[in-house]
Amino acid sequence: MKRQMMLPILAGCLLVLAWSLVTAAQAAPEATPSPAGISLDPPALVIDTFYAGRSVSLKGEVADGERVILEVLGPREDATFDVKGRVGPFWLNRGLVKVENAPSLYMLLLPADAPDAARLESLGLGMGQLKTEARVAATGHNADQLFAQFLEFKQGAGLYLQRAGAVAYAPAGPGRRAFSASLDFPSALAAGEYQVIATVLREGAAPQRLEKSYLVEDGHFLGLIKGLAFSHSLLFGVLCVVIALMAGGVMGLVFKGGKGGH
Amino acid sequence: MSWYVYLPIAHQSVFLPLVLGLGFVVGLLSGLFGVGGGFLMTPLLIMIGIPPTVAAASDSNQIVAASASGTYAHSRLGNVDFKMGLYLLAGGIIGGTGGVQLIKLLRQAGDADFVIQITYVIMLGVVGGYMLVESLQSLRAAKSPAGRAPAPAAVPAKDSAYNRFLSSLPFQSNFHKSGIVLSPVVPLFLGALVGVLAAIMGVGGGFIMVPVMVYLLRMPMHVVVGTSLFQVLFTCVDVTIMQAWSNHTVDFLLALILLLGSTIGAQVGAKLSSKLKAEQLKVLLACVVVLVMVKMLVGLLLTPDSLLSVHGGH
């Protein structure tokens, strides 16, 4: 009798969890123009349960003849890596490297008529600039080589990218032209305040920078889990164990009740 | 609805059917062989982009479900020696605590990772190789005409030095489920030894415990599987709570998806294990262990794509 009652209760608990997952998806807010001259649609990115990367549309306007280079920077973070080295025939971890103050995400979107690499560097744009801002802490290793490895690692994970021809122009009235780009936020994305920077270049004039903060936030269900995991960690750990035991028990009962049960 | 699910602690989306499938495969191994599967699942999760620390901690959480499901299935079949499991568990806790301190000392001395990785490969190679050779010989013997002859009612145990040593130990006790008489000192000691190794290598230790039970405790294979799962369950409950509390690295959603796959896999594995012969089970487990060893060895020998990897995990 007890077992007969347990099965629907435990199955109900799992159903509630599944329902929470489905209802966690949220509608994105509507687009609003930015006072800085850049508008993003959606104006904030909500990471819901089924988030798998998202394109954000960026639009703005400049004068004819001006060129626009776009950057997106994630929150600055410190990351620790194992560094592999050769010991005889083996590649083994040979120490740690800490890369501090590097953005979690970096996108550099260039128009088709972008300046060359040397000009970009002189403007303080591109991944070379990140090196001047980040700190590499590693004893017994070459910091420059490690930072190059760090960039390769981030590019391999799809978190750092540089894309040419990604900023498009269109006419927008007398003496003006509109620019637009699609910011492809990757599936590996953490909530936080991101910076969108448009550098406007005009022949014979100093470059102008338009900056806008872009908020990436967790949906309700994910926020609830994170809140529990970080603010009530012991309770969270116990809950994880209880749910795992329940799931194991439910499956045991389901299989026992099944045709091929023991 | 998307086929992707975002993991709030790993900060990463994963393809739902892929993770469910991984859970099923590892659960199947768990139910078949009585191993937690951490030695296999954590590297697989890292391969699909989960940060190592999150992979290791969330894997422990899903093993709780798989081992609970497997223990339940095996206990209904009468395949769990709870008395032996408790002695091994007590030893494992003592050894695990000591092992954590040992690894701290090794790290201070430097080159700890070198010791760990090489120990891991050698352990897997020796255990897997020995099991494979021994179980293949037994299978061949069973197929030969002499092997097919009915076994005598009672075969006296070989009076080896090891057997004489076991008999000479104090507090001899009857372990009914396993059908052996043994001093509790033996499972306590061996449990502690496995605990030290498991702590050093950062895994649950099921894949070391199973050969220990088979070859050193001389337990029947089907009881070994159930009893190992019983022990793995408690180890992983402890690890999950400690990881969630101290490091905030348990990703509940990842564990939930994995455990849905693994609990089904564990039940299927338990059914399969009761249909397979002990020697067949040993051959399969030995193949899995040897494959993992080869994969690790290749990983150590090939030039890596990147010299950097996210710190943490197993």
Preferred mutation among A80, A154, A240, A254 to probe B, highest tally of B CBs within 10 A: A240
Whether B312 maps to a domain, the answer reads: no
Which one has a higher pLDDT value, B57 or A219?
Answer: A219
Using a CB-CB cut-off of 8 Å, the residues of chain A touching B59 are none
Whether B260 maps to a domain, the answer reads: yes
Whether B108 maps to a domain, the answer reads: yes
Preferred mutation among A155, A251, A256 to probe B, highest tally of B CBs within 10 A: A251
Lowest mean pLDDT among A18-22, A51-55, A132-136, B54-58: A18-22
Residues of chain B with pLDDT under 70: 1, 34-36, 100, 103-104, 106-117, 144-159, 198-205, 311-314
ω before A42 within 30° of 0 (cis)?
A: yes
Residue ranges per structural domain of chain A: 2-20+223-257, 36-43+54-215
Q: Residue B87: how many CA atoms within 13 Å on its side-chain side?
A: 17
Whether B205 maps to a domain, the answer reads: yes
Q: How confident is the model at residue A29 (pLDDT cuts 50, 70, 90)?
A: very low
Segment A237-259 shows an average pLDDT of 77
Using a CB-CB cut-off of 8 Å, the residues of chain A touching B5 are 21, 49-50
Whether B49 maps to a domain, the answer reads: yes
Cα distance from A39 to chain B (closest Cα, Å)? Answer: 26
Tell me the residue range of the domain where B103 lies.
4-142+160-301
pLDDT of residue A103: 94
Average pLDDT score, chain A = 81
B14, closest residue in chain A (CA to CA): A52
Using a CB-CB cut-off of 8 Å, the residues of chain B touching A260 are 271
Preferred mutation among B75, B118, B237, B252 to probe A, highest tally of A CBs within 10 A: B252
User: Which of A149, A244, A251 is facing B307, going by the closest CB pair?
Assistant: A149
pLDDT of residue A96: 81
Range A36-43+54-215 has CATH code 2.10.25? no
pLDDT of residue B311: 67
Adjacent-strand bridge partners of B174:
B181
Convert the pLDDT of each residue in A178-212 to its tens digit: 999 999 999 889 899 999 999 998 887 888 888 89
Dihedral through CA A78, CA A80, CA A86, CA A90, nearest 10? -150
Q: Please give the tally of structural domains in chain B.
A: 1
Q: How confident is the model at residue A79 (pLDDT cuts 50, 70, 90)?
A: confident
A219, closest residue in chain B (CA to CA): B8
Interchain contact, B64 vs A81, CB within 8 Å = no
pLDDT of residue A17: 47
Residue type, B116: I
Segment A226-239 shows an average pLDDT of 91
Q: Given a cut of 80, is residue A218 above it in pLDDT?
A: yes
Q: How confident is the model at residue A169 (pLDDT cuts 50, 70, 90)?
A: very high
Indicate the SS3 state at residue A102: strand
Question: What's the CA gap between A176 and A187, in Å, rounded?
Answer: 35
| A138 within 8 A of A98, measured Cβ to Cβ | yes
Interchain contact, B245 vs A85, CB within 8 Å = no
Q: Given a cut of 80, is residue A151 above it in pLDDT?
A: yes
Convert the pLDDT of each residue in B139-159 to its tens digit: 787 776 654 444 444 344 556
Interchain contact, B306 vs A93, CB within 8 Å = no
